[in-house]
């Protein structure tokens, strides 16, 4: 079964949604047969590579919401994140454009498959929300890539070129085609869509339903045989 996930590194609910999905997947009996692929999405592609201000200032300017109200909203998100074992630090968060970081995830997939892309996604989300690192910085991205086992020179060369730019744009275009306007967004077996950082229980139910529909029970009773062979039920055996 294939799971496609669109998300942005600069999206707090995307990290929370990742944790909740992972919790559901960990208890899914067929988890070893599930392929997860991350897809790029940008909440604000107009954001400069580096923004000189805090997350509250940026969101206040972008959304026109009172800074005090925004601070309260971010505190609520921080509490939700803590419930999933994440330590958000908005005081240290560096507001930056995520496009280059998405390119790093594509490079990681090219070098090591979906598992490497997942590791890159995790490292970038943690760097942004927990460690106060600048995900718009080529130097930071090269360090993160090296920490994942990628060659730092290879990462730097990629970032200095337009490599994987088309791949990121293709993901964003595909999201638009599917009608995805917010993230995280999960697509199960090209059939079921789940929007947002839903509870783990909902992900568990969706995984089970998608699996059952793609792997229906096949009745092996021969056409010439008895439809009801010897069996036991609530009323006894026959």
Distances (CA, A) of 167 to 83, 104, 161, 170: 34, 11, 13, 5
- Residue 36: the pLDDT is 98
Q: What is the per-residue pLDDT for 50?
A: 80
Whether residue 226 is predicted with pLDDT greater than 80 in this model: the reply is no
Secondary structure (DSSP) of 39-94:
EE--S-TTS-SB-SS-HHHHHHHHH---HHHHHHHHHHHHHHHHTTT----TTT--
Range from 13-17, 57-61, 79-83, 213-217 carrying the lowest mean pLDDT: 213-217
**Is the model's pLDDT at 132 over the cut of 70?**
yes
At 222 the pLDDT is 65
Classified as helix, coil or strand, 4 is strand
Residues 172, 6: Cα–Cα separation, whole Å? 9
Mean pLDDT of the chain: 93
**How much of the chain exceeds pLDDT 70, in percent?**
91
pLDDT tens digits, 100-129: 999 999 999 999 999 999 999 999 999 999
Largest CA distance in the chain: 78
**If you average pLDDT over residues 64-82, what whole number do you get?**
95
pTM of this prediction?
0.90
- Top pLDDT among 233 and 202 is at 202
Tell me: pLDDT of 219 over 80: no
Degrees to nearest 5, angle at CA 88 with 83 and 89: 150
pLDDT band at 236 (very low <50, low <70, confident <90, very high): low
Tabulate helix, strand, coil % of the chain (nearest 5). 50, 10, 40
Buried b (16+ CB within 10 A) or exposed e, 172-192: bebbeeeebeebbbbbbeeee
Q: What is the pLDDT of residue 214?
A: 85
What does the pLDDT average to over 33-57?
A: 94
Average pLDDT over residues 48-76: 92
Helix axes 200-214 and 12-26, enclosed angle (nearest 10): 60
């Amino acid at each position: 079964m294939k799971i496609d996930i669109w998300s942005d590194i600069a999206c707090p609910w995307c990290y929370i949604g990742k944790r909740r999905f992972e919790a559901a997947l960990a208890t899914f009996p067929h988890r070893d047969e599930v392929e997860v692929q991350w897809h790029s999405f940008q909440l604000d592609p107009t954001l400069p590579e580096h923004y000189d201000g805090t997350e509250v200032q940026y969101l206040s300017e972008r959304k026109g919401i009172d800074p005090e109200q925004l601070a309260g909203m971010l505190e609520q998100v921080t509490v939700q994140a803590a419930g999933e074992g994440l330590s958000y630090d908005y005081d240290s968060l560096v507001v930056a454009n995520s496009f280059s970081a998405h390119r790093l995830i594509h490079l990681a997939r090219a070098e090591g498959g979906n598992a490497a892309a997942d590791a890159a996604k995790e490292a970038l989300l943690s760097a942004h929300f927990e460690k106060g690192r600048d995900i718009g910085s080529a130097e930071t991205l090269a360090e993160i890539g090296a920490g994942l086992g990628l060659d730092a020179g290879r990462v730097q060369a990629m970032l200095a070129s337009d490599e994987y730019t088309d791949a990121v744009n293709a993901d964003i275009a595909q999201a638009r085609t599917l009608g995805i306007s917010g993230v995280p967004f999960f697509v199960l077996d090209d059939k079921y869509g789940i929007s947002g950082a839903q509870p783990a229980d909902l992900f568990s139910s969706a995984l089970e339903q998608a699996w059952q529909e793609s792997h229906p029970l096949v009745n092996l009773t021969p056409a010439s045989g008895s439809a009801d062979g010897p069996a036991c039920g609530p009323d006894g055996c026959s």
